[in-house]
Chain A
């Protein structure tokens, strides 16, 4: 079965620290895309970062970067210089191109403390 696992239900870090959110997935497909979404209490989902599985280079978007380990099926999100506004629920998701299916993890609740 295709699954996405976020092993950290909740995390807290001090403002300005670096935090890493883990995500592992299981798929037999070779052609897929990985996403991290941020969901604040408003419930709107904000795309944080996107990675194509065929690209070896890790995606980076300002303070957000990923560590994509394809062989290990791991896709962790690193937030550098964390800010209070980063407090939110973060979802990892994998889109399988062949099946046209996207699987979400159960989320990691991140608290940035002043």
Chain B
């Protein structure tokens, strides 16, 4: 079965540094998402992306965050100046439909980001 992959699996960075988290969605999917899980429980929606544009974003997704599909296969999340509270597990997901509640999202295995 096709799967979403993410790299790296773990990332440690200093506060204030930039990080880029990478995702390879399923090849025929057109809709992409980033989520993060804080403190091992709460999962927060960050952003959805379609046709090279952000289609939805949460209030968490401020100017420090950006997403990009640089080459037709990768989907990246950049955090420009990391804060301690950005420490979380970041999940990428992809789907072939973008209708909320109608799509089937395939989640990647996550990238653990630790900001020191």
Contact = CB atoms under 8 A, between A and B. Distances in A.
Interface of A: 9, 33, 35, 37, 40-45, 47, 50, 88-89, 95, 100-104, 106-107, 109
Interface of B is mostly: strand
Nearest to A111: B101
Interface in B13-27: none
Nearest to B46: A43
A37 B40 CA distance: 13
Given A9-B104, A40-B101, A43-B56, A101 B110 contact: yes
26 contacts: A40-B101, A41-B101, A42-B45, A42-B100, A43-B100, A44-B58, A45-B35, A47-B42, A47-B43, A50-B41, A88-B101, A95-B40, A100-B10, A100-B112, A102-B37, A102-B89, A102-B91, A102-B109, A104-B91, A104-B107, A106-B104, A106-B105, A106-B106, A107-B105, A109-B101, A109-B102
Interface of A is mostly: strand
A89 B105 CA distance: 10
B67 to A, nearest CB: 15
Interface of B: 9-10, 33, 35, 37, 40-45, 48, 56, 58, 89, 91, 100-102, 104-107, 109-110, 112
Nearest to B48: A43
A89 B101 contact: yes
Nearest to B89: A102
Nearest to B41: A47
A45 B109 contact: no
Contacts of B112: 100
Contacts of B105: 106-107
